[in-house]
Amino acid sequence: MSRPAPGASLWPGIALTALAALSWSTAGLFPRIVSTDVYTTLFWRSLLGGLSVLAAQALLNKRHDLAGLWRLTAPEWWMALASSGAMVCFIAAFFFAPVADVVFIYSAFPIITLLLSAALLHTVVRRIDALCTATVVLGMGLIVWGQSSLHSLLGAALSLAATLLFALITIGIKRYPKAEMVKVTYAGAFGAALAVAPFATFHGTSAHDLAWLWLYGVLNVGVGFGLYLLGVRRIKAVLASLVCMLEIPLAPLWVYVWFGEAVARQSLIGGAVIVLAVLVNVLSAQHGGKPAQSA
* pLDDT in 10s for each residue of the chain, 295 residues: 444 444 556 788 889 989 988 999 999 999 999 999 999 999 999 999 999 888 877 776 665 666 777 889 999 999 999 999 999 999 999 999 889 889 989 888 888 888 888 888 887 878 888 888 888 888 888 887 866 677 888 998 999 999 999 889 888 887 888 888 888 989 999 999 999 999 998 887 888 998 999 999 988 888 887 788 778 778 776 677 778 888 888 899 899 989 988 888 888 888 888 888 888 877 776 665 443 333 3
Residues 6+ apart with CB under 8 A from 78: 172
| Cα 46 from Cα 191, distance rounded (Å) | 8
| Cα 50 from Cα 19, distance rounded (Å) | 19
Domain ranges of the chain: 13-288
> Between vectors from CA 227 to CA 224 and to CA 231, what angle results, nearest 5°?
135
Question: Which CA distances in Å does 107 have to 121, 125, 160, 268?
Answer: 22, 19, 10, 13
Predicted TM-score (pTM) of the model is 0.82
pLDDT value for 2? 41
- Integer distance in angstroms from the first to the last C-alpha of the chain? 14
